[in-house]
Structure 1
Amino acid sequence: MTHINVLDPGASPLDYYGFELRRLREAAGLTQRQLGDIVNYTGSLVGQVETARKLPTPEFSERVDAALGTGGLLSRLVGLVMRSQLPAWFQQVAELEARAVKISTFQTHMVHGLLQTEAYVRAVLGSLDETDLDDRTAVRLARQRIFEKAMPPVLWAIISEAALCQEIGDTEVMRGQLAHLLSFESNPRINVQVLPFSTGAHAGLQGSFTLYRFEKDPSIVYTEGYGSGHPTANPDTVSDCSLRYDHLQAAALSLRDSADLIRRVMEERYGEQRDSGGDHVA
């Protein structure tokens, strides 16, 4: 167990966050319980965060920043903390997401992590291992904070119709996920296209991939395997995947037609069914 008296702020972003939280709380003359009462959390949770045994959330950070008048210090740190909790092989990708001005992704069987709902994330991450599921879910969702920046990246997501039909979680989880995709219809910076089954053979048959484009740096292509990620700035690979993406966009449904298909799948495949008396049966 990590003890607060020996907490090393240089050990990790999580340790540094805990060290700073303790320093700020003590400077304000508050006990853990008193701070917890102010921000509507338990004193025990405050202590666990201070000793790097519990991940802080963005909401926790914002409340403590307001209570202690930190100028937003903890809210700025929490993104780094969350990123450090990602699998080591994925941390570089999260940094790419944070720096990119445009993200273009093609997904064959699942909604991209930047567009996943909390329930969908839990179903995906918990499919094989439910250990620390709350924290792992929070860490994945934290990546979506890139859309809260003053100048968020433009995201263009092409998803196979198969991703709409693959029931991850249950019907309620899928209804919520598809409704979430539809919520971006009026957002010009987040665009969702569906590649329908009727397309047949297409340029993305080799699998999912994501293109990251930057203000000044070379573009990067990212592909993923089991427990490993493969980012590359190789010009030939970037050129090939850029061409493939252009063809996928041309083959995919328009934004409006994609939304119509998502809505139809949500209603027909995951809609609430009623019996003859009007009661819910699913």
Structure 2
Amino acid sequence: MRVFLAGAAGAVGHPLVARLLAEGHTVVGTTRDEARARTLRAQGAEAAVLDAFDAAALRAAVLAAEPEVVIHQLTALPAQADPKLMAAALALTNRLRRETVPTLLSAATEAGARRAVVQSIAFVTRPDGRPVHDEDAPLYLDAPEQFRDNVAAVRDLEAATAGAAGIEGLVLRYGFYYGPGTWYAKDGTMGELIRKRRYPIIGSGEGRMSFVHLDDAVTATVRALDHGTPGVYNITDDTPATSREWVPEAARLLGAKAPRKVPAWLARRLAGDALVYYSTTLPGNANGRARAALNWAPRPWRDGFAEVFG
């Protein structure tokens, strides 16, 4: 199968290229960087060097590739979660979601592609007292200002995917990635913060994180090439983890001291509403739709954490 992958050098894109090639697919991957293009070619993929915001260049690359399936994995998130970089990185990621998804879908339809698989995020549904949400829960469009535009950008990309004519659009709402090369790894930002006791349990610690190992996210993406019907799928593991569960477990595996506990009012004053929300209120995500439609079985986060942090 010929696959056009927009964002072939990112957190999911890089291992996804390797998996697609290993399974015998032909891959055309985009990157802005010629050095990364050489890496893609060395792997056995074709490379298209372009600025994704250049609609004409992106369209031309898709038409030249003549893909059966296009995959959108474009983000601008840094390798490490540096607070000084995050606001600009999130703003650019929101632009990528809004502006490049419609271009890619239009070009894919023009090129005769049958399917588009588009990256989204799972942790954007409005809290309503339920601990776990499925894909039909409403988006949190009135979220705290720090991440309100993230939710709006998700709304826009998902609407563009659902509304695309002449192509099957699947949205994969990934959970919080963990594993090598992510923030949630021994040498990742969260691993370092937990090791230094700088990632506390805030308030009740009842916020639920729906994790997904990077390898499992890649597997789900490959399955989406020819499994499932158009729609939205949560790509998360089976059991959302509360902050009071997963932070101490990561600390134990890292050989670190137990995390500190910080009242919500103090954390809000020091770090803002978003972090407090994630730690105290965030709903988890149900993955039953993806498990059934994609014939997919992610590892439990406790097992995965033992591999990654142990």
Give TM-score, length-normalised by structure 1: 0.28
- Highest Rg: 1 or 2? 1
| Structure with the higher helix share, 1 or 2 | 1
User: TM-score w.r.t. structure 2 length?
Assistant: 0.26
Larger relative strand fraction = 2
